[in-house]
Amino acid sequence: LEKFEGIGRRFNLLAELHALGLDADTIVIFTSDNGSRARDEGGSNEPLRGEKATAWEGGLRVPCIVRWPGHVPAGEVRSDLTTAMDLLPTLAALCDAEVPGDRTIDGRDISALLLAAADATSPHEAFWYYLTDQLHAVRAGRWKLHVFRDGAAVEELYDLVDDPGETVDVAPSHPEVVAELLGHAERARAELGDAGTGRVGAGRRPVGEVADPVPLTTFDPAHPYYLAEYDLTDMG
């Protein structure tokens, strides 16, 4: 680990971009892996509920900070629903590039949100929370409906604006919202399937494959990244 000590102090990405004259022409995006496991490693997802590998917000919500001088307004905060899948079509749009037209692209162009257009809203009508091949929850706007957990069907509704920690189930007082989100859940099952209900799905995405794949890295048990992994016991 000694040879890596101090790298963060000696190298600053933004300073390097400025020195190379690329600062104004570079979009810098900061995000992270999802959800601390919140076990005994010292991680926490508070004030959000849940941990990694759950459909609670603490297991899935991540930060996203975007910097593009002269284009993305400094200090602007948006709470619209977006996902990491949106990065592909968004960056393609900003760079005047085309996304593949021979496959389903689940992400949406959110460049209007990043550029703070006055009338910009989330392009997602709904978002589906899957764990492996099971639908666990669905969200539309401020509302999130949990439909499956711990091997059983549930029907719990949470208001993520007033209650981002998902502490109060408001399904009994909003039956119309529950019905709307159940409709979104049915569309998810029809397209992607749902092992929890035995649905197959007519539009399941094919597994990505690479012809003649070549490993990009080699295993090194002494590498700092490997030594720092917290889930080695889980992985075996």
Full 3-state SS string of the chain: CHHHCCHHHHCCHHHHHHHCCCHHHCCEEECCCCCCCCCCCCCCCCCCCCCCCCCCHHHHCCCCEEECCCCCCCCCCCCCCCCHHHHHHHHHHHCCCCCCCCCCCCCCCCHHHHCCCCCCCCCCCCEEEEECCEEEEEEECCEEEEEEECCEEEEEEEECCCCCCCCCCCHHHCHHHHHHHHHHHHHHHHHHCECCCCECCCCCCCCCCCCCCCCCCCCCCCCHHHHHCCCHHHHC
pTM recorded for the entire structure? 0.84
Of 40-44, 145-149, 203-207, minimum mean pLDDT range:
40-44
pLDDT band at residue 220, thresholds of 50, 70 and 90?
A: confident
Of 80-94, 157-171, 206-220, minimum mean pLDDT range:
206-220
Query: Which tens digits make up the pLDDT trace of 102-118?
Result: 999 999 999 999 999 88
Q: Between 37 and 184, where is the model more confident?
A: 184
Query: Which tens digits make up the pLDDT trace of 130-159?
Result: 999 999 999 999 999 999 999 999 999 999
192: pLDDT strictly greater than 80: yes
pLDDT band at residue 3, thresholds of 50, 70 and 90?
A: very low
What rounded mean pLDDT belongs to the chain? 88
